[in-house]
Amino acid sequence: MQKTIESFFKHSSTPTSDPGTSNSGDLFDGIRAQNRPEIRVKYTRQSTRGEESTKDVLIGEETSEEQRETSEKLNGVNGGGKILNKKRKYAQFHLELGQSDFLLHTCKICGIKYAKGDEIDEKVHTTFHKNYTHGIPFKGWRHEKVIQLSGLVKDRIILVSNYDSPAQRNKVQEVVKMMEIDLGDGWIFHELCKVYLYISSQRVSGCVFVESINMAHKVLLDPVQMSTDGASGKEEKPMQKTLQFGGICFRREAFRRCSTLRTSEAMDSNINGSIVCEEKATLASCGIRAIWVSPSNRRKGIAKHLLDAVRKSFSLDYTLGCSELAFSQPSSSGKALATKYTGTPSFLVYKS
């Protein structure tokens, strides 16, 4: 009995060889095994709210609070359930206060529409606006057909035809797209045209398209302009009409003036009006299909230099006269240019 009590308080790791005490030792070992806590270990995959995580986290029932906080920080979640490492997204907001161009703003000079406040749109508008007002950038070509003219020191005029390289024809297409803003699209260029590019400060400042024609018509003078030669600007005496009420007298004065204009005013009215041509056609060989100069380079004689280059290089045999150039349905600005360059409002026009 004494031996059994000692084995209860002092357990030996090695089993006893006594057959009488082996059953009692196994009984106490089974009781200890039942009272010992069981530790279960499992692996789970956790993901944050914003993005999935592929890290395997070991979570046990006896994990301490520090280990839990460390695992949550690694997963990007704090104690309140908020994501710590989530990137902030910044957005551009605008205030609508009744402005007409709230969504898109239209440039009054180049005509392009862009969104104010958008960095990409403003950058695109700045580049396009500069190319439209100053000309398309041009670095030059190795083989250029330069037409030398007197008076041009740094600037030059280059002739481009359909037989030139694709790089030169692509540059012409860029100029055509810029010209279509002012002159309209779909009619400026075709394969048989000769193109003259005016190069200034490494930019295409002006351009003219020329084609071969057979017949043209002269523009008729305006009847108002023809009557200004013998008309005088004298005024008639005023017609007086009185209306009297007792001691109050009302007098109405009216002046009749002759419907005559000055020569310059008559030319302006003719330029801004429609074109009336003669039915009889005349022979012509050179047709100015379209001419354009960048807005910042106008009033500098660039159009005159381009037309001079056309007259001197269009025909190999001789130089054309100013009155031999025919213009293709010119606009108001084109009529003013043709009248000034040829020296007469009765210049040649043709249908393109």
Q: Answer whether residue 299 shows pLDDT above 60.
A: yes
| Chain region(s) in the chain for CATH 3.40.630.30 | 140-219+275-350
Q: Answer whether residue 151 shows pLDDT above 70.
A: no
Share the mean pLDDT of the chain.
75
Greater pLDDT, 194 or 3: 194
Q: How would residue 276 be classed by pLDDT, with cut points 50, 70 and 90?
A: confident
Q: Where are the beta strands (DSSP E) in the chain?
A: 41-45, 56-60, 105-106, 113-114, 136-137, 146-147, 156-160, 194-200, 203-212, 215-218, 239-245, 248-254, 282-283, 286-293, 325-328, 348-350
Q: Out of 85-99, 259-273, 313-327, which region has the weakest mean confidence (pLDDT)? A: 259-273
Greater pLDDT, 217 or 239: 217
Q: Out of 24-28, 167-171, 224-228, which region has the weakest mean confidence (pLDDT)? A: 224-228
The pLDDT score that the predictor gives to residue 66 is: 61
Which amino acid, residue 17?
S
Q: Answer whether residue 32 shows pLDDT above 70.
A: no
Q: Answer whether residue 62 shows pLDDT above 50.
A: no
Mean pLDDT to the nearest integer, 183-210:
92
Tell me the C-alpha to C-alpha distance, in Å, between residue 205 and each of 58, 67, 69, 138, 314: 73, 73, 69, 10, 21
Greater pLDDT, 194 or 98: 194
Q: Out of 100-109, 203-212, 248-257, 329-338, which region has the weakest mean confidence (pLDDT)? A: 248-257
Q: Answer whether residue 311 shows pLDDT above 90.
A: yes
Give the position of tokens 């797209």.
177
Q: Does domain 140-219+275-350 have CATH number 3.40.630.30?
A: yes
Mean pLDDT to the nearest integer, 28-42:
60
Q: How would residue 211 be classed by pLDDT, with cut points 50, 70 and 90?
A: very high
Q: Which residues of 183-216 are buried (b: 16+ CB within 10 A; e: fewer)?
A: beeeebbeeebbbbbbbbeebbbbbbbbbebeeb
